Structure 1
């Protein structure tokens, strides 16, 4: 089994074939979209392929070391980037092909008017082991 991270991005502009920004959806359309993702996760729980998932708010803060003990902090991510991470799901599957298959299914979540959003999802494998540096 190998773990993969599915990153769901939210863009203020259309990001897919049938995408209309979510802030233009009706409450019923948002509910149907979230229900689809919940049902998807429930199905993967029964197969043992679901690990975890979370939705994220649009609020965020950037932090980095300043080398002096007090890291600088800025507001962000900023909405004008039109690209925020809206949420993520971790799956644990036997093959890369299965991970691709599941990402494709999740991409078909309903959007405006009940049409599949067909959004791009970022699929990232976890390291099985942390890489080590050898000399």
Structure 2
């Protein structure tokens, strides 16, 4: 088994496939989108392939070490950005091919008018370090 991160990016700018930005979806369209993702996760829980997942709020902060003991904090990212990380899901699957299959299925979540949004998902395998031998 191998763990993968499915990273959902919200792109505020319309695309040729998804021509209606999410902020213009009706409450029913948003509910249908969320229900699709919840049903997807529930099915993967049943198959043992779901590890965890969650949606992220659009507001956040940037924080970094400043060398002085008090990290500076900057507002952002901001929701008006063209590309915002909207959420994530961790899956644990038998193969990269299965991870791609599931990412493609999640990409078909409905959007405006109930049409699949054909969302690009970032698919990233977890980094596994080789075992350390200590004797």
> TM-score under structure 2 normalisation?
0.92
Q: Which runs of 5+ in 2 are unaligned?
A: none
2:50 corresponding residue in structure 1: 50
Please give the root-mean-square deviation of Cα atoms over the aligned residues, in Å.
Answer: 1.7
> In the alignment, is the contact (CA less than 8 A) between 2:59 and 2:79 conserved in 1?
no
1:8 is paired with a residue whose SS is strand
2:82 corresponding residue in structure 1: 82
| 1:40 lines up with 2:30 in the alignment | no
User: Are residues 46 and 19 of structure 1, via their aligned partners in 2, closer, same or farther at CA, if it must alter by over 3 Å?
Assistant: farther
Query: How many residues are treated as equivalent by the alignment?
Result: 132
Shift of residue 15 of structure 1? 4.4
Mean Cα deviation higher: 14-23 or 25-34 = 14-23
> In the alignment, is the contact (CA less than 8 A) between 1:53 and 1:88 conserved in 2?
yes
Q: Structure 2 matches for 1:1-135, cutoff 5 A?
A: 1-15=1-15, 17-129=17-129
Q: Distance in 1 between matches of 2:66 and 2:131?
A: 27
Q: Distance in 1 between matches of 2:2 and 2:16?
A: 28
1:123 is paired with a residue whose SS is strand
Q: Which runs of 5+ in 1 are unaligned?
A: none
| Structure 1 ranges of 4+ moved more than 6 A | none
Q: Distance in 2 between matches of 1:63 and 1:16?
A: 35
> In the alignment, is the contact (CA less than 8 A) between 1:62 and 1:75 conserved in 2?
yes
> TM-score under structure 1 normalisation?
0.92
1:29 is paired with a residue whose SS is helix
